[in-house]
Structure 1
C-alpha cells in the first residue's frame, strides 16, 4: 500500500478523472464559509486541484459585483498537472505552486483562505501558522469536504469496494482540528444529491488516491466489482443515478 505522502501527491496522474468525477461544492456551503470575509475579498484556495472549489468561490465573488473592485481569487496547489486542468476551465484565475505549509504569499495579504477536500493532507499546526500569516486580522479559514452518504446501502458497498479515504476517516474521528492563530471551528452540514452517469461514477472512483496508487491487480479487482455494482443500480450507458452527499463545512476567524 502507498504511503500517505505518495497518496497526497498522486492526484496529478488522474487530473482529468478528478475533474470529471468529483463534485463541485454547494453554493450555500461556500457562501457560509466566506461570510466573515467582507464585501470585496481577496481569497486563496489552497489545495485547489482542478478548481472544484475555486469555481464556486469565483462565481460568488463575481455574483456579488465585486469584480474589478479589489476582489481576487488565487488558486494554490503543489501539483502542476492539477493546476493545468484548473486553468483550462478557469483561465483568468491566478495560480501558484505551493502548499498550506508554504504558500508563497505576502503577510496579511488575503481576507479568506479556503481548502476543499484538502485539510486532511495538511499538518494542522504548520498549516494554521502559515495560513494565519497570510490572512489579514479577522480573516477567515474555511474547510469543506463532500463526503458520500454511506447510510444508503449501495453507497456503503461502493466504499467497501474502493476502500475509504483519509477524509472519511477524519470525519469519523470527529472532524478537523486547527491551531493558533485560530480558535474553535464552527461547523455546518448540507445534504444533497448529484446525478451521475456510469462514466462519471467510474471517473470518481479512479480519482481517489487509494485507487491511483494501487497495484495493477488491486485496480483490476476494483474495476470488476464496481462494474457489477453499477449494473445492479442501473448506471448503464447514459442513464443517471443519484449519488447522495453530505457536505461538511468548518470555519474559524483569525484571532
Structure 2
C-alpha cells in the first residue's frame, strides 16, 4: 500500500548522489543519464541544478514521461542493455525504483558509458514500517490479507551491484521523508487495497482504520506517512573494458 501522492525526493539525497570531481567538489555542469521512466520524480530537480540531461527509456511513452519533468533533456529511446552512447559519456547515471529490473548486461552497458570516477546513482523510496501507527495499520490489514503491506520494493537487487566486477565501490545512505496523509486519503487507500472485500467486513475494517487515525493524529495536523529514501552510489571500474571501450565503427555514436 502506497500513498496516493508521489513522495518528493529529498534535496539532501540529490546532493549526495551528485557527481563530484577528483578533488571532492561537485561537478559544475555534470553529464547525467536518466535511465528509465521511473526516474521522472528526480528529473525536475536535476534539471534545475544545471545538469546536462539525457532522458532514456525503452519506449517513447517512457521518454515522454521524463521530458514532461525535464523538457530540455535530450530524448533517447533505447534499452539499458544497448545504450547508444560513446564510452565515458556521463558523470552519473540515475536509476530510481528499478535496479531490480536491470540485467547483468545492463549493468555492464551502464558502466561502459560512465566516465572515469563516474557513478551509478541508485535510489528506492520505501515505506518505514517501524513507526507505531504504521505497525498498527499493518496488523489491521493483515487480519484481512496476510500478504498486505509486505513491502517488497526490489532493494535486495543491490547485492548484484555490489558483486558486479564493473563497480569498485558501493556506498549507501538513507534519508527520512514524511508525507502528510488525511483521514479521507488513508481510508481511500485501504478501500483501494481491498476492492472485492465483502461489504460488512470492509465496513468493520474502515471503522477500525478511522479509529486508528483519530487516536494517532494530532488534530488539526494530519498523520505523517513515513518513508525512507535509500540511496547507493556505485563508482565505476573500467578494468573489464580496457580493450572494449570503443564502439564498432558502424555503430551509432551520440556525443554530448
| 1:131 Cα deviation after fit | 0.4
- Equivalent residue number for residue 101 of structure 2: 121
1:155 to 1:170, Cα distance in 2 relative to 1, 3 A: farther
Task: Check conservation: 1:49, 1:83, Cα contact below 8 A.
Answer: no
1:157-236 to structure 2, matched below 5 A, reads 161=141, 162-167=148-153, 170=156, 175-178=158-161, 179-197=164-182, 217=196, 229=209, 232-233=212-213
Out of 91, 103, 123, the position equivalent to 1:144 is 123
TM-aligned CA deviation for residue 92 of structure 1: 2.5
Name 1:27's counterpart in structure 2.
11
TM-score (norm 2): 0.67
Query: In structure 1, what is the equivalent of residue 87 of structure 2?
Result: 107
Q: Secondary structure at the match of 2:43?
A: helix
Provide the rounded CA distance (Å) in 2 between the counterparts of 1:42 and 1:158: 43
How far apart are 1:228 and its partner, in Å? Answer: 6.0
Aligned counterparts, 1:64-75, within 5 A: 71-75=51-55
Instruction: Give the alignment of 1:48-63 within 5 angstroms.
Output: 48-49=37-38, 51-59=40-48, 61-62=49-50
Alignment counterpart, residue 254 of structure 1, candidates 228, 236, 250: 236
Q: Is the 8 A contact 1:98 1:104 kept in 2?
A: yes
Q: CA deviation at 1:149?
A: 0.8
Q: Which runs of 5+ in 2 are unaligned?
A: 22-26, 142-147, 238-256
Asked if structure 2 preserves the Cα contact closer than 8 Å seen for 1:198 and 1:239, the reply is no
Shift of 1:204: 8.0
- Give the superposed CA RMSD: 3.9
What CA distance in whole angstroms lies between the structure 2 residues aligned with 1:202 and 1:92? 39
Where 1:101 maps in the other structure, the secondary structure is helix
CA distance in 1, matches of 2:234, 2:121: 7
Q: How many residues align?
A: 217
Gaps of 5+ in 1: 1-16, 63-70
